Chains A and B, each alone.
Chain A
Amino acid sequence: MSEQATTPEELLSRADALRGELGDSHSRFIEDIYQQAAEVADKVVSQTGQAGRFNLDRALDRVLTSPVWGLPIMVLMLGVVLWLTISGANIPSGWLATLLLDWVYNWLHTAFQAIAAPWWIEGFLVDGVYLAVAWVTSVMLPPMAIFFPLFTLLEDFGYLPRVAFNLDRAFAKAGAHGKQALTMTMGFGCNAAGVIATRIIDSPRERLLAIITNNFSLCNGRWPTQILIATIFIGALVPPVWSATASMLAVLGVAVLGVGLTFGVSWGLTKTVLKGEASTFSLELPPYRPPQILRTLYTSVIDRTLIVLWRAVTMAAPAGAVIWLLGNIDISGVSIAEHLVTFLDPIGWFVGLNGVILLAYVVAIPANEIVIPTILMLTLMVGRAAGADAGVMIEFDTARETASVLVGLGGWTLLTGINLMLFSLMHNPCSTTIMTIYQETKSLKWTTVATLLPVVMGLITTGAITWIARALHLV
C-alpha cells in the first residue's frame, strides 16, 4: 500500500504519476459507463408497436433539408412571417395611434390645463414623457404581438435546428461554429439574448465570432423600424394592393443581407484577427413537436411581448423627457436640439442620412425601439421651430401620416429611407447588448470592436450608396 497524500499538491502530483502508470485504463473506465447504459437500455426497452411518427418526421426533413428546397423554404418562411406581421400590424397600429396619440393625448392636455399646471410641467410630462411612451406602444406592440408568437411557433415546432443543419457548411467555410446558426436566430428575437446564447459554443475564438456578428440579426427593436420605413418608402412605390408584399420583400432583403454580413464578417475576422479552424460539433435534430398554439400565444404574449414592451416603455419615458428638454431649453434663442441637429446635419448629409437621424441614434442607444419615436419628435420640434407649417396639427393614425411628417417636414427622400433601413441593420448594439457583450467577454477590446465595427460599416455603406446615387443623378 502506498503512502497517503497530506497536502493538495501531493495529491495532485500523486494522481498525475498514477495516471502515467495506468496508461489507457483510466479512460476505459469512463467509457464503461456508456457500454453499461447501452446494455441496460436494451434490457428495459421493447419495441411493441409501429414507429409511426418517425416516418412523418422523415418526410418533413426530406423536404425542409433538401438541396433544392431547403434554403428557399427557409427564406420563404421568414418572408411569410414578415408578411403576416406587416399586413396584420397596420390596422391595430392605427387604432392604438388614434387612442393614445389622439384621444388620450388631447385629454391629458385638457386635464393639465384644467388644473392650471405650469406650461413646462404639462410639456415635460405630456409632450415629452407621455408622447414617447405612447409612440413606442403604438409602433411596437402590434408587430411584436404578431411576430413573436409566429417565431415561437417555428421554434417550438423544431425548425431552428434544421436551419442550423442547413447552414452548417456555410458557417464552417466562414471558420465559424455551426451552433452560431442557433445564436443568430435567437438574435432575431433579441441580441442580448443571442449573445448570452453563445455560451453553447465551447471554443473562445468561435464564441467571439458569434458575439461580434450577432448584431447583424435584426432584433425585435429594429423589426418595427424596418417595417415602418419600408411601408412608407418602398410600399409607396407600388400600387396599394402590392404595397405589403413590396414592403415585406424590402425587409426580407435587409434581413437576408444581415445573414450575409454574419457570414462575411465571420469570414473576414477568421482570416485576420481571429485566425483558426472551425471546430466540429454534433448537432441533434430533435423530433418535430406539434406546436401547442394556444399555450404559445399565451406565453409569447406574456413573456416576450409584454416584457420587451415594458423595457421599451421604461427606456422611452426618460428618452422622451430628454428630447423635450433638448427641444425646449434655448441657448441664445435656439433650442439645444436645433443646435445639435444643425451641427450633425452636414455629417448626416455626407452619408445620406440627416442630423435628426444621427441625434436620434445617440438618444436611442439604450433601446433600438425608440429610434422612430425619437426621430418623429425631433423632426416635429426642429421642423416647427424652423417655421415650416407651424400651424398644421399632424395626426399619426397611419403610416401615411407619419410619412407626411418625415417627407414634408423632415425633407426625407427614398434614399434617406433606404439608408435608414441599412443603418438600422448596421449600427452599434443597444446599451443592454453592449453590457451583455462585456459581461460575456470580460474584454474591453472586443466589446469596443463589437460596438464600433457595425457603425463604421453602416456609415461606409450608406455613404457609398449616397455618393453613387448622386453621381448617377438618381437624387
Chain B
Amino acid sequence: MEKIAVMSESNQALHPMCDGCARAQLIKMGINSGKWHFAVALAGNPNTGKSTVFNALTGLRQHTGNWPGKTVTRMEGLYKYGEYVYKLVDLPGTYSLLATSEDEEIARNFILFGRPDVTVVVVDATRLERNLNLAYQVMEIADRVVIDLNLIDEAERHGLEISARQLSRELGVPVVPTAARNGRGIDDLIKIVSDMATGQLISRPNRLKVYDSQFGQAVGEVTRSIESLYPGLPNARWVAIRLLDGDERIEKAVRTGELLNMVRGQNGDPAFALQGTAA
C-alpha cells in the first residue's frame, strides 16, 4: 500500500493502522440546506470516479454512469466530520479549465470565483499524465489543493505502480490514494481535507515557472495591475495569464465588474458565481 505524503507534521496522526476511524466520525448528511463551515470543490477529468467519491462522502446516491460528460451540472451535498460541516460540490468532469464549453466554464468559475476552502482534484491513477493537466491548472488557480489518486485498485490490476509520495513532492500538495468504489482511502481523504480546511495542513502548489522573460515581464505587469485594482483577489497571476491569452470569459468578468464582486463578497455563497452560466 502506498504511503501518504503530506506537507505538515500532522501526518503522524494520520497514519495509524485504524481503518475506518475517520469514517466512524463521518456523518453523511446528503442534501441538506443547513449551515456549513467549509466548502470543498470536487474537480476531475470525466470518468475518474468523481461521483463515486462524492457519494461516499455525502451518502447521496448520485448515479454514476460510465460515459464522459455524464455530470453536466454541479451537485452539492453535506457531510459532517469532527465539529465542522462541509459542503461538497461535485463539479462537471472536464479535461481542462481552458476551453470554452459550458461544463468547463462551470468548473472553472467555481474554483476561481466560488473560493472553495479546499479543492480536491480526483485523478485517475491509470491515466495519470492526462489527469495531471487538470491538476496543474487547478493548482495555478487555487492554493489549497488535495490530489485524490483514485482508481488505485484499477492501476494495480493493470500492473502500474505509482509513488504517491514522489507525486506529492513533485506537485507540492498532499496526494491520497483511494479506491472510492470500495471505500479504500476515503478515511485518509476526509482527514486530509479537514486538516487543510482548518489550516492545520498547508500546501504549496508547485506552480509553473515562466521561462520566457518577455512573457514573464508581461505577466508581472498585468498581475500588479490586477492586484492594485482588486486587492485580495487570490489568483491574480492566473487572471493575468488568462487575460494575456485573450480569455473572453475573464475579460467579461473584468468589464462587468464581476471580478470586483468576487473580492467584495468575502463570505458570499460560492454558488453565485455560477448563476450566469448554469441555467
- Footprint of B on A, CB under 8 Å? 1-2, 4-12, 14-16, 18-19, 21-22, 25-30, 32-34, 36-38, 40-54, 152, 155-158, 160-161, 164, 179, 182, 196-197, 199-200, 202, 283-284, 286-287, 289, 292, 299-300, 302-304, 439-440, 442
Tell whether A46 pairs with B72 under 8 Å between CB atoms, given A4-B225, A11-B225, A26-B245. no
| Cβ–Cβ contact B170 & A25, under 8 A | no
Is there an interface contact between B160 and A47, defined as CB atoms closer than 8 Å? Answer: yes
Q: Are A49 and B159 within 8 A (Cβ)? A: yes
Inter-chain contact A11/B222, CB cutoff 8 Å: yes
Judge whether B255 and A156 touch: CB under 8 Å: no
Report yes or no: A45 in contact with B128, Cβ–Cβ below 8 A: yes
Q: Which of B66, B137, B162 contacts A158, CB < 8 Å?
A: B66
The digit string for B182-221, where 1 denotes a CB below 8 A from any CB of A, is 0000000000000000000000000010111011001001
Q: How far is the CA of A222 from the CA of B161 in the complex (A)?
A: 49
Complex contact B157–A5 (CB within 8 A): no
Contact B222 A25 (CB under 8 A): no
Contacting residues of chain B (137-173) with chain A, CB-CB under 8 angstroms? 137, 140, 154, 157-163, 166-167, 170-171
B11 at the interface (CB under 8 A from A): no
Across the interface, do B158 and A51 meet the contact criterion of CB distance under 8 Å? yes
Residues 92-108 of B contacting A (Cβ, < 8 Å): 98-103
A29 touches B157 (CB 8 A): no
* Most chain A Cβ neighbours within 10 Å, of B64, B66, B243: B66
B66 near A179 with CB under 8 A, answer: no
Contact between A12 and B251, CB atoms less than 8 A apart? yes
Which residues of B are in contact with A by a Cβ distance under 8 Å?
Answer: 46-47, 61, 63-69, 72-73, 98-103, 126, 128-130, 132-133, 135-137, 140, 154, 157-163, 166-167, 170-171, 181, 208, 210-212, 214-215, 218, 221-222, 224-226, 228-229, 240-241, 243-246, 251, 254-255, 257, 259, 279
Q: How far is the CA of A275 from the CA of B47 in the complex (A)?
A: 33
Contact A37 B214 (CB under 8 A): no
Decide: A156 near B224, CB < 8 A? Known: A8-B255, A25-B214, A286-B47.
Answer: no
The distance from the CB of B248 to the nearest CB of chain A, in whole angstroms, is 11
Within 8 Å by CB of A41, from B129, B214, B226, lies B129
Cα-based distance from A123 to B172 in the complex (angstroms) = 72
Q: Is the CB of B66 within 8 A of A157?
A: yes
Task: Find out whether the CB atom of B64 lies under 8 angstroms from the CB atom of A156.
Answer: yes
A-B residue pairs, 8 tightest by C-beta: A49-B159, A41-B129, A37-B132, A200-B69, A5-B225, A15-B243, A158-B66, A202-B101
Q: Assess whether B135 is in contact with A37, with CB atoms less than 8 Å apart.
A: yes
* Cross-chain pair count, CB within 8 angstroms: 191
Is there an interface contact between B229 and A11, defined as CB atoms closer than 8 Å? yes
In the complex, what residues of B have CB within 8 A of residue A157's CB?
A: 66
Given A160-B67, A302-B61, also A43-B170 (CB < 8 A): yes
Q: Enumerate chain A residues within 8 angstroms of B100, measured Cβ to Cβ.
A: 202
CA distance A44 to B229 in the complex (A): 41
Cβ 8 A contact of A199, one of B72, B130, B212, B251: B72
A14 with B103: CB separation less than 8 A: no
> Which residues of A are found within 8 Å of B102, using beta-carbon distances?
199, 202
Chain B: minimal CB distance from A51 (Å): 5
Cβ–Cβ < 8 Å partners of A10 in chain B = 225
A residues less than 8 Å from B246 (CB atoms): 16, 19, 26
Residues of A within 8 A of B225 (CB): 4-5, 10-11, 14
| Partner among A11, A14, A21, A52 whose Cβ is within 8 Å of the Cβ of B157 | A52
In the bound assembly, the distance between CA atoms of A33 and B97 in angstroms comes to: 12
B257's contact among A8, A18, A26, A152, by CB below 8 Å, is which?
A: A8
> Which residues of A have CB within 8 Å of B72?
196-197, 199-200
Name the one of A6, A12, A25, A200 contacting B215, with C-beta atoms under 8 angstroms.
A25
Report yes or no: A40 in contact with B157, Cβ–Cβ below 8 A.
no
Which of chain A's residues have a CB closer than 8 A to the CB of B215? 22, 25-26, 28-29
- Residues of chain B within 8 A (CB-CB) of A52 are 157-159
**Is B161 touching A45 in the complex (CB atoms < 8 A)?**
yes
Besides the known contacts A43-B170, A44-B167, A48-B160, 4 further A-B residue pairs in the complex with CB atoms under 8 A apart: A26-B218, A46-B161, A284-B46, A440-B279
A281 to chain B: closest residue by CB:
B101
CB distance from A436 to the nearest CB of B (A): 9
Residue of A nearest to B256 (CB): A8
**Min CB distance, B133 to chain A, in Å?**
5
Please, which residues of chain B bring their CB within 8 A of the CB of A1? Answer: 221
A367 to chain B, nearest CB (A): 21
Name B221's closest neighbour in chain A (CB-CB).
A2
Q: Is the CB of A15 within 8 A of B67?
A: no
Across-interface contacts of A199 in B (CB, < 8 A):
72-73, 102-103
Q: Is the CB of A29 within 8 A of B212?
A: yes
